[in-house]
Structure 1
Amino acid sequence: MHLRHPHDGPGHGSAAGAAARRPDGTRRALRLGLGGPVGSGKTATVAALCRELRSELSLAVVTNDIYTREDAEFLLREAVLPPERITAVETGACPHTAIRDDISANLEAVEELENAAGPLDLILVESGGDNLTATFSRGLVDAQIFVIDVAGGDDIPRKGGPGVTTADLLVVNKTDLAPHVGSDLSRMAADAKAQRGPLPVVFQSLREEAGVAPVAAWVRERLAAWRA
C-alpha cells in the first residue's frame, strides 16, 4: 500500500513521489486525486471544479471506472472541458488497484494528456467509487481530496479510515440533504475534527450559492504552493 500520512514530512504530505518536472525540463501539472464512496458526488465535484477554474487555468481530467467510461462520458456531455482534455481509464478491477497499487495506466493517461494538451496547470484524477480505505499513490498525485456525503450516514467521519483521516482535504458533500436524511452536520464536523486534527474539511452543497467555491479556493492554494 502506497500510503503516507499527511502529517509526515514538509507540507503535510504535499510532496509527490513522482518527479516534479517533465523529461524536457518543464514543470509538470499539479495532480490532484479525488476519491470516495460510490455516489458521494466525486464526478459532480470534478465537473463543478472544471467550470469554476477553466477560465483561469489550463486543466484536464482522468476518470476511473471498472468496466465503463461512464464518468468521462458524463463530463463530455456536460462539456466542462474540450473533449481532448478528458480521458478515461477502465481499471478492470477494484478502483483502488489503479490509483494505489498499479498506477501505470493512470500515469500513462496523465502523461498523454500533458503531451497532447499541455502545458497544463492542473490534472484532476478521479477514482472509481471505492470505500473508506481508498487512497492514491503519492507516485500518481501530489495531493488528494476525499469526498463523502451526508446521505451515507453522519457517523462516517467518526468511523475514520485512511480516506477520511489522511486525505489532504475532506469534502462532506450534499449538505442540503442533511435535514431529509437525519444527518447532524455539527456532529460530523466535530468527528471530522477529532479524526483529522488540523487537516481541512469543507462542507459542500453544489445546489447552493457557494457551491464548489471553497474547494476551488483550496485547489488554488495548492497550485500556488506547487508553483512556488
Structure 2
Amino acid sequence: MHIGHQHDTPAAVGADAARPDGSRRALRIGLGGPVGSGKTATVAALCAALRDTLSIAVVTNDIYTREDAEFLLRNAVLPPERIQAVETGACPHTAIRDDISANLEAVEDLEDGVGPLDLILVESGGDNLTATFSKGLVDAQVFVIDVAGGDDIPRKGGPGVTTADLLVVNKTDLAPYVGSDLGRMARDAEEQRGELPVVFTSLRAPDGIAPVADWVRAQLAAWTG
C-alpha cells in the first residue's frame, strides 16, 4: 500500500557524485526513525531483496554498542566486510546531521575496501520524530515509523515524518492488535507530506519489503542515469 502521487519520482540528486578518482560514487540512502520502528529489519530486508543485482554496503549507528551491525551479521544479509558500525557516543543526531565525519569515514572506507558500490545504506541509531540526515552525508532519506507507536504519529509530524523522501509505516500486521487505524494514518500522512510518498509495510508478509525496494531502485536509476 502506498500513497503519494510521486512515489516513483527519484529524490536523489547528482551533486558531488564523483569520487576523487573520477568514478561515480555509490548512492547513499539514510534510514532514520524512532527506537523499535524496524529500521534494522528494513535494512536487512532491503539487502536480501537487492544484493543479487546490486553491490551494496551498510553503515550502522548505535550510541554505545554494535548491536545493529551484529544483527545484520547474524542474519548474513551481506558479507562482514560490507558492514561498518559507528558508535556515536552521543545523540544519534550528532553523527548523522551535525558532525558527520565518522559516518563519512565509514562510507569512504567501504568504497575503498569493497567498491565499486552501487548503494550504501546508512542507518541512524533510534531517535525521535526530529531525526534528519545531513545532505552532506546522504542523497535521500527514508523515515521509518510503526503502527505500534500510535496511529497519531503521522498527524504529529516533525521533520522526519514531513520531509523524508520516503515515509515507511511499518508493522501493519500489528494494527488490529494495537488499535491503530491504517486509513487514518494514511490520510494524516498525506496531509502532512503532500506529494511526498508513503508506503505501508509488514516485513512478515511475503515480499513485504517490495514497495521500499522499488523506491530504492528508482532512486538508483536516477543516480546512475
Which among 12, 15, 39 is matched to residue 14 of structure 1? Answer: 12
1:96 to 93, 97, 103: 93
Q: Deviations over 1:103-157 (max 9, x none)?
A: 0000000000000000000000000000000000000000000000000000000
Question: Matches of residues 65-104 of structure 1 in structure 2 within 5 Å?
Answer: 65-104=62-101
Q: CA deviation at 1:95?
A: 0.5
2:3 match? none
C-alpha RMSD of the superposition: 1.1
Q: 1:66 to 1:174 in 2, by over 3 A?
A: same
Contact map agreement 2:11 2:219 (CA 8 A) in 1: no
How far residue 209 of structure 1 moved from its aligned partner, in angstroms, is 1.9
Gaps of 5+ in 2: 1-8
1:165 aligns with 2:162: yes
Residues 62, 109 of structure 1: 8 Å contact kept:
yes
Q: Which residue of 116, 131, 140 corresponds with 2:113?
A: 116
On the 8 A contact 1:16/1:140 being kept in 2, the answer is: no
1:226 aligns with 2:223: yes
Partner of 1:133: 130
Distance in 2 between residues matched to 1:217 and 1:48, nearest whole Å:
12
Secondary structure in 2 matching 1:63: strand
Aligned twin of 2:6 = none
1:196 to 174, 179, 193: 193
Q: TM-score, normalised by structure 1?
A: 0.93
Q: TM-score, normalised by structure 2?
A: 0.95
Gaps of at least 5 residues in structure 1 are: 1-10
Q: Which residue of 1 aligns with 2:150?
A: 153
Aligned-residue identity in percent: 82
Give, in angstroms, the shift of residue 57 of structure 1: 0.1
Q: 1:210 to 1:13 in 2, by over 3 A?
A: closer
Please tell me whether the aligned partners of residues 31 and 141 of structure 1 are also in contact (alpha carbons under 8 angstroms).
yes
Matched-pair contact (CA < 8 Å) for 2:10–2:219:
no
Offset, 1:16: 6.6
1:64-120 Cα deviation digits (max 9, x unpaired): 000000000000000000000001000000001100000000000000000000000
Distance in 2 separating the partners of 1:207 and 1:40: 14
Structure 1 letter corresponding to 2:44: A
Q: Deviations over 1:162-200 (max 9, x none)?
A: 000000000000000000000000000000000000100
Distance 1:175 1:202 in 2: 11
Equivalent in the alignment of 2:56: 59
Instruction: Tell me the CA shift for residue 13 of structure 1.
Output: 5.8
The separation in 1 between residues aligned to 2:78 and 2:193, in whole angstroms, is: 33
Which residue matches 1:107? 104
Q: How does 1:204-219 map to 2 (within 5 A)?
A: 204-219=201-216
Residue in structure 2 matched with residue 36 of structure 1 by the alignment: 33
| Alignment check: 8 A CA contact 1:76 1:83 kept | yes
Cα distance in 2 for residues equivalent to 1:191 and 1:12 = 23
Residues 1:103 and 1:16: Cα distance change in structure 2 (over 3 Å): farther
CA offsets, 1:20-73, max 9 Å, x none?
100000000000000000000000000000000000000000000000000000
